[in-house]
């Protein structure tokens, strides 16, 4: 090669490519392979094929390849297969876009049907995989693409199901009625990890209202930032140890938290007793009571007559009374909070603990049902204003303002999350005991801060909601009897064929919706029809299953734990977490599927922001080189 007199990266790149183009690297490697020390496994953290690679992805790929080359030079044979994350929300939403669909999930299915969406997903991942492989070649990546794993393929799905089988056997996999984070646009629940990705500053109403107590001439003053949850209101919470004060305000008696009295009255523009001589609206404290002494006092919901479902429960006296609970924060609002168990995690737990029925007049589209009376047919958040107006008419209005606060939004669609009581499937992580933490503690992380962050997340032991109400994903292979509710889990194609009473697509059906949904079983108890539970799996479950699902049985036992894996720092709540949990479940012991994990920092743009497609700072101007 000539010696360059001028630095021209484009020319140098071209020259190097044409030089390397003549070398068959694979055959070079094969020659070397005859002389290896031992075999090492590697598991590729699969990129999601909803788009093309960009500069933010590249450094991680280069680190992986460097490690591979280094280990190869040390005479290890490294199993270095590519892997592709091919299912789930990001792919499905992108496919909907390509089909020109702009509505919510249910509108889109109505327009084109499940099969067209599935076909569009498959096409999309093929197109994007081609682009990824092209860029990998330009980078000089050494992945084995022929033996790459694809999370949507039937053989992968059947092996992924083995994790579910193990979890089912050891009692970790459970159906549970519980409040989950739910995206109204994507119409699916989201995991804790997904919710943590999308906190933003949002504006909400700050609404004070009053409810009349049943047995005394007094009003409880309550604060909420989600007026629509008055439709699912069941209880009012006070702190048992806090002092509450009865105050006279314009000839009405109000009950508020003593700590909040002064600032609340200021906020509401009500002046204290001293000002009475000046003839200004005033308040005067009458007496105080401890929160625990308010427990059990009943109140009259101001909108009762217009919400039939709520009226029924209230008439039965199962709801609408005060509960004293430690979680109630007396430093904000009025010191009293209302509890809407259908729309709040803590609210739900308190109601469940007290065996109070949960009123959920909300459907899959997050729209109020018949039971919500005058609010039926409305998207819940659109009901805020109507609720405030109805409260005004019912003389229950105190004040409405605005508040800007941190609130989770959907990481894909940007919509505000709604907390919703739903039936979902969970991995009960706390039942794994100390195994996850013990497994994670034995790993080498190279730096303290990501290590500590990862271990803290493991310690949370939050139940992992693994079910999603979408189309394009690994189906949950559990069937439920339409009459008696008996459940049966079938974790392989052979088991399904053996039990099916209806196989409308023959025995080589595809393990995806809509085909798998057509398969019916006959209940072994009551002989009625059993239908598949209508869920697919969290896409993070797909990639977390890769150690077992992408390898053969013998490879898995020989190569896992892998010596070294690396991904971005955001994967502490993502892939690293699901890999670890699933491996602990699969082996039912305290073993991580990796000995070392390097969490890389993000690639940043010129303003210091993370480079990612969703932030729109990775589009490359034609002809502009980002290397110089």
∠ CA 177-543-74, nearest 5°, is: 150
Q: Which residues are catalytic?
A: 46, 85, 540, 571, 575, 610, 613
| Contact assessment for residue 500 and residue 461, using Cβ atoms and an 8 Å cutoff | no
Shortest spacing between CB 471 and Zn ion, in angstroms = 14
Q: Select the residue interacting with Zn ion from 20, 484, 604, 615 (CB under 5 A).
A: 484
C-beta separation of 100 from 62 below 8 A: no
User: For Zn ion, which stretch binds (CB under 5 A), given 175-183, 287-295, 371-379, 431-439?
Assistant: 175-183
Neighbours of 282 (CB within 10 A): 19
Nearer to Zn ion, 186 or 500 (CB): 186
Closer residue to Zn ion, CB minimum distance, 167 or 536: 536
Cα 226 from chain centre:
21
481 binds Zn ion (CB under 5 A): yes
HEC profile of 256-317? EEHHHHHHHHHHHCCEEHHHHHHCCCEEEEEEEEEHHHHCCCEEECCCHHHCHHHHHHHHCC
Angle CA(50)–CA(473)–CA(527) in degrees, nearest 5?
165
Nearest-approach distance from CB 614 to Zn ion, in angstroms: 12
Window of 53-61, 172-180, 307-315, 485-493 that interacts with Zn ion by CB under 5 A: 485-493
3-state secondary structure of 26: helix
We find the least distance from the C-beta atom of residue 65 to Zn ion, in angstroms, to be 34
* Cβ closest to Zn ion, residue 412 vs residue 468: 412
Query: Cα angle vertex 168, ends 483, 493, to 5°?
Result: 75
CB of 489 to Zn ion, least distance (A): 15
Count CB atoms within 10 A of the CB of residue 558.
13
Number of residues that bind Zn ion (CB under 5 A): 14
User: Which residue, 65, 84, 60, is CA-closest to 132?
Assistant: 84
Spatial distance between the Cα atoms of 309 and 133, rounded to a whole number of angstroms: 56
Q: Which part of the chain contacts Zn ion (CB under 5 A), choosing from 79-87, 151-159, 438-446, 484-492? A: 484-492
Cβ count near 506 (within 10 Å): 8
CB of 571 to Zn ion, least distance (A): 21
Phi, psi (deg, nearest 5) at residue 134:
-60, -45
Q: Which is nearer to Zn ion, 252 or 501 (CB)?
A: 501
User: Counting contacts by CB under 5 A, is residue 195 touching Zn ion?
Assistant: no
Which member of 183, 307, 440, 457 binds Zn ion (CB under 5 A)?
A: 183
| Residue whose CB is less far from Zn ion, 490 or 585 | 490
The DSSP call for residue 370 is G
Nearest Cα neighbor of 314 from 323, 330, 303, 324 is 303
Contact status: 612 vs Zn ion (CB under 5 A): no
Q: Closest separation between CB of residue 390 and Zn ion, Å?
A: 29
Minimum CB separation of residue 476 from Zn ion in Å reads: 19
Nearest residue (CB) to Zn ion, 186 versus 362? 186
Q: Which span sits near Zn ion by CB under 5 A: 11-19, 176-184, 313-321, 445-453?
A: 176-184
- In sequence order, the 6+-apart residues with CB closer than 8 A to the CB of 512 are 118, 152, 472, 475
Taking the C-alpha atoms of residue 160 and residue 20, their distance in angstroms, rounded to an integer, is 39
Closer residue to Zn ion (CB): 185 or 258: 185
Cα–Cα distance measured from residue 114 to residue 105, given in angstroms and rounded to the nearest whole number: 10
Q: Which is nearer to Zn ion, 388 or 410 (CB)?
A: 410
Backbone Cα Rg of the chain: 29
Stretch that binds Zn ion, among 180-188, 197-205, 381-389, 543-551 (CB under 5 A): 180-188
Q: Which lies closer to Zn ion via its Cβ, residue 68 or residue 479? A: 479
User: Applying CB under 5 A, which of residues 186, 429, 565, 581 lies at the interface with Zn ion?
Assistant: 186
Residue 584 in contact with residue 430, Cβ under 8 Å?
A: no
The two tokens of residue 188 are 């699916």
Tokens 């991995």: give the residue: 427
Least Å distance, CB 419 to Zn ion, is 14
Compose the 525-554 pattern: x for residues touching Zn ion by CB under 5 A, - for all others: xx-x--------------------------
185 binding Zn ion? (CB under 5 A): yes
**Using CA atoms, how far apart are residues 557 and 575, in angstroms rounded to an integer?**
21
Interface positions, 499-528, toward Zn ion (CB under 5 A): 523, 525-526, 528
Contacting residue, 410, 432, 440, 584, with Zn ion by CB under 5 A: 410
The least distance separating Zn ion from the CB of residue 298, rounded to whole angstroms, comes to 39
**Toward Zn ion, which CB reaches closer, 192 or 486?**
486
Q: Which stretch binds Zn ion (CB under 5 A): 259-267, 410-418, 597-605, 612-620?
A: 410-418
Phi, psi (rounded to 5 degrees) for 169 = -65, -40
Least spacing, CB of residue 260 vs Zn ion, in Å: 35
Range 296-315, binding Zn ion (CB under 5 A): none
Which residues, in sequence order, are CB contacts of 185 under 8 Å at separation 6+? 104, 105, 410, 413, 415
Applying CB under 5 A, does 486 fall inside the site for Zn ion?
A: yes
Question: Which residues make up the interface to Zn ion (CB under 5 A)?
Answer: 183, 185-186, 410, 412-413, 481, 483-484, 486, 523, 525-526, 528
């Amino acid at each position: 090669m000539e010696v360059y007199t001028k630095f021209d990266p484009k020319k140098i790149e071209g020259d190097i490519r044409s030089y390397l183009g003549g070398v068959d690297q694979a055959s070079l490697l094969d020659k070397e392979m005859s002389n290896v020390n031992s075999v090492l496994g590697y598991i590729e953290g699969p990129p999601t094929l909803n788009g093309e690679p960009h500069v933010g992805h590249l450094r991680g790929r280069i680190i992986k390849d460097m490690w591979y080359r280094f280990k190869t030079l040390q005479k290890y044979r490294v199993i270095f297969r590519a892997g592709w994350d091919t299912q789930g929300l990001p792919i499905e939403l992108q496919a909907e876009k390509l089909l020109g669909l702009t509505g919510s999930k249910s509108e889109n299915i109505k327009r084109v049907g499940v099969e067209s969406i599935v076909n569009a997903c498959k096409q999309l991942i093929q197109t994007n995989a081609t682009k990824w492989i092209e860029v990998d070649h330009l980078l000089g990546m050494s992945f084995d693409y022929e033996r790459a794993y694809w999370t949507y393929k039937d053989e992968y799905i059947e092996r992924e199901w083995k994790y579910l089988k193990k979890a089912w056997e050891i009692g970790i996999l459970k159906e549970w009625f519980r409040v989950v984070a739910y995206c109204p646009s994507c119409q699916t629940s989201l995991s804790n990890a997904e919710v943590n990705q999308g906190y933003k500053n949002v504006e909400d109403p700050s609404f004070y209202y009053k409810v009349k107590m049943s047995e005394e001439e007094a009003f409880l003053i309550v604060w909420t930032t989600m007026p629509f949850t008055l439709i699912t209101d069941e209880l009012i919470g006070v702190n048992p140890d806090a002092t509450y004060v009865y105050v006279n305000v314009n000839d009405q008696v109000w009950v508020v938290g003593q700590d909040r009295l002064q600032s609340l009255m200021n906020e509401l523009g009500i002046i204290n007793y001293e000002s009475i001589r000046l003839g200004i609206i005033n308040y005067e404290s009458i007496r105080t009571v401890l929160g625990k002494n308010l427990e059990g006092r009943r109140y009259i919901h101001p909108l009762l007559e217009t919400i039939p479902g709520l009226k029924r429960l209230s008439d039965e006296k199962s709801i609408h009374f005060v509960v004293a609970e430690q979680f109630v924060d007396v430093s904000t609002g009025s010191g009293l909070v209302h509890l809407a168990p259908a729309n709040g995690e803590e609210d739900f737990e308190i109601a469940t603990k007290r065996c109070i029925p949960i009123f959920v007049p909300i459907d899959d589209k997050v729209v109020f049902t018949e039971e919500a009376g005058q609010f039926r047919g409305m998207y819940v958040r659109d009901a805020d204003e109507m609720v405030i107006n109805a409260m005004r008419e019912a003389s229950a209005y105190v004040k409405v303002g605005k508040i800007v606060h941190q609130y989770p939004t959907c990481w894909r669609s940007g919509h505000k999350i709604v907390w919703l009581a739903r039936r979902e499937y969970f991995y009960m992580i706390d039942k794994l005991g100390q195994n996850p933490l013990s497994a994670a503690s034995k790993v080498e992380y190279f730096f303290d801060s990501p290590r500590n962050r990862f271990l803290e997340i493991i310690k949370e032991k939050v139940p992992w909601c693994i079910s999603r109400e979408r189309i394009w994903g690994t189906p949950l292979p559990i069937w439920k009897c339409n009459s008696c509710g008996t459940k049966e889990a079938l974790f392989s194609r052979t088991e399904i064929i053996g039990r099916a009473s209806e196989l409308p697509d023959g025995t080589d059906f595809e393990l995806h919706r809509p085909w798998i949904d057509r398969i019916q079983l006959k209940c072994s108890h009551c002989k009625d029809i059993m239908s598949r539970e209508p869920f697919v799996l969290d896409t993070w479950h797909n990639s977390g299953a890769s150690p077992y699902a992408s390898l053969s049985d013998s490879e898995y036992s020989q190569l896992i734990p892998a010596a070294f894996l690396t991904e971005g720092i955001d994967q502490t709540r993502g892939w690293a977490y699901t890999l670890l949990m699933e491996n602990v479940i699969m082996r039912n012991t305290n073993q991580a599927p990796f000995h070392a994990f390097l969490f890389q920092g993000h690639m940043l743009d010129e303003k210091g922001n993370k480079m990612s497609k969703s932030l729109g700072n990775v589009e490359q101007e034609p002809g502009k080189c980002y290397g110089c």
